[in-house]
Amino acid sequence: MDNIPQFHEEMKKILDSVKNVPKEALVFTYNGVMYPAAICDTDTFKDIESFEAREDDLMLVSYPKCGSHWAHSLLHSIVGAKEKKEAPFGIPVIEFKVYHKYVKENTVSSPRILATHLHYHNIPQSFFDKKVKMLVVFRNPKDTAVSFFHFYNNNSVLPSYDTWDDFFPDFMAGKVVNGSYFDHAVTWNKHLDEDTVLLMTFEDMKEDLEGSVKKISEFFGISITEEQVKQIAEKGSFKYMKENSEKTQGAIAKVVFRKGDVGDWRSHFSEAQSQEVDSKFEECLAGTKLGELLKYNVHCKW
């Protein structure tokens, strides 16, 4: 996407602008869901209701901290390989006002790589009308919660928590930015069989990155060679992405990449907390396609 250096500079200004903002003013609620006030606003949400999607848009959808930056870097590299040039990296989240105003101008060349953390029912209708293909990324709920906790505490646009035990009940109640993980998951589970949807998990990308690159490229109809697949996977590893994050992410580099481990939840959860998530998963996702793809018994048991 164009204007990436300018995006980075504007994001830096935003991060600097909230340093002395009271905690209670860092978030606001729109249609029952909490959002960060520094990067989202009511006007933008109203505006994106009439967002004009294009048939050749490539859309990434994820709940926060499920691997969106990682998946987006792979998608950028895949598109860049097709065009035989390095694609400029940036994540134009359509509900973030700093990105929305550029996308709204409609001057970004196709194919546009877009992203959102919006719940299914809040995604602009034009994306469904135009049958835009969507890469939906999920991560097991326990690691998502831990990553989200650290994201809150390392991100100046969000109110910090004193302890993990303070954060956990808010996560379970959906009283965090972008709302409930489980609401997000339950809704998307109903749409996984649609031709315009590809579900990828953080854990599968960790286990088989080359295979993930192939699936993504095939889904979007982008033809790349085996050699390009290997090159994209090498530069798309979490380790490589973190080491080069200042170049690709600018001021938010230290915020978006932490460990990237599978199973880090075991160093944070109590037995009671683990059982609470187990019960919630059983209630919401047991026996579902998404529940199976998340391999819960592999990644979320002691």
Residues 4-48 have pLDDT tens digits of 556 667 777 888 888 889 999 999 999 999 999 999 999 999 999
Helix, strand or coil, per DSSP, at residue 113: strand
Are the beta carbons of 155 and 255 closer than 8 angstroms?
Answer: yes
Give the other-Cβ count within 10 Å of 291's Cβ.
17
Find the largest Cα–Cα distance for the chain: 52
pLDDT beyond 70 at 299: yes
Whole-prediction pTM: 0.91
Give the separation between CA 33 and CA 24, rounded to whole angstroms: 15
- Where in the sequence is the domain holding 18, given as residue range(s)? 4-299
Distance of alpha carbon 63 from alpha carbon 257, whole angstroms: 15
Rounded-to-integer distance, Cα 82 and Cα 104, Å: 26
CATH number of the domain residue 60 falls in: 3.40.50.300
Residues carrying an active site annotation: 117
Provide the number of structural domains found in the chain: 1
pLDDT in tens, 225-284: 999 999 999 988 877 776 765 565 545 555 555 566 899 999 999 999 999 999 999 999
Dist CA 57 CA 50 (whole Å): 16
Helices (DSSP H) in the chain: which residue ranges?
4-17, 42-48, 68-83, 97-104, 125-129, 141-154, 164-173, 181-189, 202-207, 209-219, 226-235, 238-243, 245-249, 253-256, 271-284, 289-293, 296-299
